[in-house]
Amino acid sequence: MGTSEKIRIAFVGTGGRSWTHIERLAKFEDVALVGFMDVIPERAREKQAAAGQGKVYLDYLEMLDDAKPDALYVCVPPGEHGALEREAIARGIHLFLEKPMALDMATAEEFGQKIREKNLITCVGFQDRYLDIVEQCRTWIQGRDVGLVDGAWVGGVPGVPWYPKYATCGGQIVEQNIHIFDMVRNLFGEPAKVYCAGGRGIVKIQGFDLHDYSSAVITMQNGVVATLFTACYLGEGSTDFPNGLTIHCADCNIRYFLRNHIVFESRGETISRPWKGDWQTVMERTFIDALKSGDPSAIRSPYDDALKSLRLTLACNESLETGRVVEL
């Protein structure tokens, strides 16, 4: 891609999440949004009209043939990954993928392999990695003794139709709390093993087959033990739970309040820092700049790295099912 040309971007899946990307990309002068496709065409029309550029396509292959994107944003529900990526990868189209990138490791590893072979530039939507306060946490952690980490993503049931079933969603750990599992990897390296216990019976939605709650204990290769709560059974009357991570250091606590602020607490000192800037714009800009330069090194969650967070969360599902510790 030459530096003077606009980067051509197409979207498959133009529901709620896609707009976060579209509204930012539409403001970049070096980006052309060339195609929008959704199995509910009205959604593609809505996003195209709001972006004020590009074309709506009723057929995915026709979009790839006609719009000739340099990169494709894949924002479909978790259970819809597969044929879409296979086609794009075969054509050498670079990919921005929403997490989770697949619901089984065989598919995800197949894509990882093909992406490597084709030398494609990829970015997976782990937005928290672009927050300035996460980098501040990393600085605070450096040189400190950390034993325990605890964290949570506790809330209600998201209002998307594919959420209630493992087959279409992957479960709350894989679909939602994967962000915090990824943050543990981002700050503490790779996991060695995981055990996960969970339960059901509180959420009363017809056909709901996910766990309502679970607790995962992850032993990291460096010895840190992280316990992460995941729950979607909070209903009316519950107060907002402070989701995020607490890092228990020998001489202080460091707390990451999900996409909001961080706190450093030690005897006699409390420092609180809110986030600054729009980290999601930073994520889009990083991806576009990588496409322009051909250098992906600034992308914080390329496919190969994101695979490891997917593997960890799918291992939690395995542990929930078997009741056993899963070695990674």
Which residue's Cβ has the minimum distance to ligand NAD? Answer: 15
Rule CB under 6 A: is residue 61 a binding residue for ligand NAD?
A: no
Contact 164, 209 (CB under 8 A): yes
* Chosen residue from 69, 77, 112, 171 binding ligand NAD by CB under 6 A: 77
Phi, psi of 56 (to 5 degrees): -95, 135
Q: Is 82 in the site for ligand NAD (CB under 6 A)?
A: no
Candidates 6-14, 114-122, 180-188, 312-320; binding stretch for ligand NAD (CB under 6 A): 6-14
Are the CB atoms for 191 and 218 separated by under 8 Å? yes
Collect all residues with Cβ–Cβ distance below 8 Å to 158 and sequence separation of at least 6. Answer: 176, 232
Name the strand (E) or helix (H) holding 312: helix 303-322
Minimum distance, C-beta of residue 124 to ligand NAD, in the bound complex (Å):
8
Q: Which long-range contacts does 263-269 make (Cβ < 8 Å, 24+ apart)?
A: 264/140
**By the rule CB under 6 A, 80 interacts with ligand NAD:** yes
For residue 32, report the phi and psi dihedrals to the nearest 5 degrees. Answer: -115, 120
Contact between 101 and ligand NAD per CB under 6 A: no
| 165 scored as a contact of ligand NAD (CB under 6 A) | no
Binding range to ligand NAD, per CB under 6 A, among 37-45, 62-70, 183-191, 234-242: 37-45
Structure tokens, 142: 């450096």
- The minimum distance between CB 74 and ligand NAD, in angstroms, equals 8
Nearer to ligand NAD (CB atom), residue 16 or residue 199: 16
In the complex with ligand NAD, the residue whose CB is nearer, 102 or 234, is: 102
- If the CB atoms of residues 43 and 300 are measured against ligand NAD, the closer one turns out to be 43
Q: To the nearest whole angstrom, how small is the minimum distance from the Cβ of residue 176 to ligand NAD?
A: 7
Question: What DSSP assignment string belongs to 233-286?
Answer: ---TTPPPP--EEEEEESS-EEEEETTTEEEEEETTEEEEEE--S-HHHHHHHH
Answer for which of 48, 127, 136, 172 binds ligand NAD (CB under 6 A) is 127
With contacts defined by CB under 6 A, name the span among 25-33, 74-82, 209-217, 309-317 that binds ligand NAD: 74-82
For 306, phi then psi, to 5°, come to -60, -30
Assess 38 for contact with ligand NAD (CB under 6 A).
yes
Would you say how long the chain is, in residues?
328
Burial of 70 (0-12, 13-18, 19+ CB in 10 A): buried
> For residues 45 and 36, what is the distance between their CA atoms, to the nearest angstrom?
8
Nearer to ligand NAD, 169 or 254 (CB): 169
**Closest CB 174 distance from ligand NAD, rounded Å:** 9
Interface residues with ligand NAD (CB under 6 A)?
12-18, 37-40, 43, 75-78, 80, 98-99, 125, 127, 160, 175
